Chain A
């Protein structure tokens, strides 16, 4: 698996286990403990996908989602929450989240969701590239972050 993921959760243990699993399957990950830290990191570099908790100390995952979407509507964001209600799920999807996961997560389910997300990212970028006249020589991106948006 390849691709870069920013993990946002205010609990260190949650970030650690996610990092362990995702790095274990080959993703490039980074951790942020809150919305501000995440935004600061996004300012420095790009991530293919943001995996964020919904309810955190200070600003919530929905705040992060809104700000990220305002900057880049194509950014793929997956929400996680321990307070799973259908309303918050619908709210998150409406704001532009790719998917919504309810804690406790299961590894297979998480990896499947990420796989689907990366497939879509690839698809979106390809069509975006075509529209903009960008086409790589081999036609398929090796590393997603090298593809201009």
Chain B
């Protein structure tokens, strides 16, 4: 139900409530008033009846006085019996007996009597006089004057007014309470929405508002969620586009660099091999020295070339050419070109390959690139030498294998651990920070992930988790 309908319904309910309350109050007071008037009329007629009987009877009676005691409660204040000369011959107020009334005034009938303090009347009370002339045949015997108070009626009216006021106030209080409740119910979600809007506008697109109602606020939340979802999609798309553009630029750069670096490397590599073969042939006595030197140069050429390969692999779309290979075989192929350099750095390799590790189905060339990166990084983290432990085992999670690379190096600071896979991030003085970025891309292309566990000063363990269903051909 929307806000508009609710407000209109509340207003209509309030109106109906107010009308019904006022109507029933009115009926009640009307009945009370009618009853009161009936009672008063009866009392007047009775008073008049008794007075006439008193006036026409010769005998002295005390009936008026007796009656008056009861009638006082019903609003009769005073009863005077006046003869045709205007003299009060009998009265409920004994002080008035014998006093003379103005006949002209008596002729006027019902009128409001002047307020008097005497006779037990209260100041606030408003007395009225009812004067009835008593005529028997042609003889004018006198008047009966009934002085009465209309306070009961006034009281009824007054209490009726108070009740109406209270009812109106109550109805409006209920209405206001309802309105406040409703506005709260509407404004609270709006406040929350505003908070979420602020979050989104500050760039946090993880916000999703729970849709709790079907009204305008619910619609707004739904629309907002859809908008954020679209923004998220767009952001992902932009990110991918940026990544693709970035990779394409890196790819072009890599291609250019490859040409500019590998051609000179080619010259150096061939020239040093040629020199070595010439020297070995012509001066056999210096063969050992020259060979050692040539090997070192060749190793440096390999290193430079390896950096170019990393750079090129990073910049080009990965195409996996999977084949079945055991992890031991893969390690053997990788390590054969690394042993010499690792030995020079006093780094030893310890293999802990679990016998239940299945044959892996992966791209051996790209995986070799990954393993070389891990081992090179591990060796660089241990400038004074140490042991690199290579693990291969079934992961705790069924269907996955885990390849571990553990060093005893300097470790990675906690704040850097997330960044190590970012391209161009490096903590080393050497390198361009692409090794782990390309490694992560290759592992992800295989459907796997890389985890880092490192405590500064104690060493780092990189764990490559690969899904086995991907590995089984």
* B interface residues, Cβ below 8 angstroms from A: 255, 258-259, 261-263, 265-271, 273-274, 277-278, 298, 301, 305, 312, 316, 319, 321, 365
Q: Is A17 an interface residue (CB 8 A)?
A: yes
Q: Is A104 in contact with B273, judged by CB distance below 8 angstroms?
A: no
Assess whether A17 is in contact with B267, with CB atoms less than 8 Å apart: yes
**Shortest distance from the beta carbon of A8 to any chain B beta carbon, whole Å:** 14
Bound-complex Cα distance A11 to B267 (A): 10
Of A11, A14, A106, the contact of B298 (CB 8 Å cutoff): A106
Binding site for B on A (CB under 8 A): 11, 13-14, 17-18, 20-21, 24, 55, 80, 82-87, 103-108, 110
The B interface, classified by DSSP as helix, strand, loop or mixed, is helix
CB neighbours of B259 from chain A (8 A):
55, 82-83
Residues of A within 8 A of B278 (CB): 24
Closest chain A CB from B269 CB (angstroms): 4
**Contact A103–B273 (Cβ < 8 Å):** no
Give the CA-CA distance A139 to B228 in the complex, in Å. Answer: 82
Q: Are A105 and B274 in contact (CB under 8 A)?
A: no
Name the B residues within 8 Å of A14 (CB-CB).
263, 266-267
Q: A11, A84, A107, A108: which contacts B263 (Cβ < 8 A)?
A: A11
20 contacts between A and B (CB under 8 A): A17-B274, A20-B274, A82-B263, A83-B258, A83-B259, A83-B312, A84-B258, A87-B319, A103-B262, A103-B263, A103-B265, A103-B266, A104-B265, A104-B266, A104-B269, A105-B266, A106-B273, A106-B298, A107-B273, A107-B277
- If A86-B321, A103-B263 touch, whether A21 touches B269 (CB-CB below 8 Å) is no
Contacts A82-B258, A82-B259, A104-B305 given; indicate if A13 touches B267 (C-beta within 8 A).
yes
Is the beta-carbon distance between B273 and A21 smaller than 8 angstroms? yes
Q: How far is the CA of A110 from the CA of B278 in the complex (A)?
A: 16
Q: How far is the CA of A103 from the CA of B308 in the complex (A)?
A: 11
Q: For the complex, what is the distance from the CA of A55 to the CA of B260, rounded to whole Å?
A: 12
* Given the contacts A82-B258, A82-B259, A82-B263, A104 and B316 also touching, CB distance less than 8 Å: no
Q: How far is the CA of A147 from the CA of B298 in the complex (A)?
A: 39
Decide: A21 and B265 in contact? CB cutoff 8 A: no
Supposing A17-B267, A24-B274 touch, asked if A104 and B321 sit within 8 A by C-beta, the answer is no
The 8 closest A-B pairs by CB, nearest first: A107-B273, A82-B262, A104-B265, A104-B269, A103-B266, A104-B266, A103-B262, A17-B270
Quick one: given A82-B258, A83-B258, A86-B321, are A106 and B269 in contact (CB under 8 Å)? yes
**Closest chain A CB from B169 CB (angstroms):** 88
Nearest residue, chain A, Cβ from B270: A17
Taking the nearest CB of chain B, how far is it from the CB of A113, in angstroms?
Answer: 13
Q: A82-B263, A104-B262 are in contact. Are A18 and B255 (CB under 8 A)?
A: no
A105: chain B residues within 8 A (beta carbon): 266, 269-270
Residue numbers in A under 8 Å from B319 (CB-CB): 86-87
Q: Which residue of B lies closest to A10 (CB)?
A: B263
Q: A84 to B259, alpha carbons, bound, how many Å?
A: 10
A residues near B273, Cβ cutoff 8 Å? 21, 106-108
Contact B263 A17 (CB under 8 A): no
Q: Which chain A residues lie closer than 8 Å to B277 at the CB level?
A: 24, 107
Contacts A17-B274, A24-B274, A82-B263 given; indicate if A104 touches B258 (C-beta within 8 A).
Answer: no
Complex Cα distance A20/B271, Å? Answer: 9
In the complex, chain B residues whose CB is within 8 Å of the CB of A84: 258
- Best-surrounded residue of B262, B263, B265, B316 (most CB of chain A within 10 A): B263
Q: How far is the CA of A79 from the CA of B312 in the complex (A)?
A: 19
Are B274's CB and A110's CB within 8 A?
no
Whether B274 contacts A107 by the Cβ 8 Å rule is yes
Given A24-B277, A82-B258, A107-B273; 7 other pairs, CB 8 A cutoff: A14-B263, A14-B266, A17-B266, A18-B270, A83-B255, A85-B316, A107-B269
CB distance from B1 to the nearest CB of A (A): 64
B258 and A110: CB pair below 8 A? no
Q: CA–CA, A111 to B282, complex, Å?
A: 20
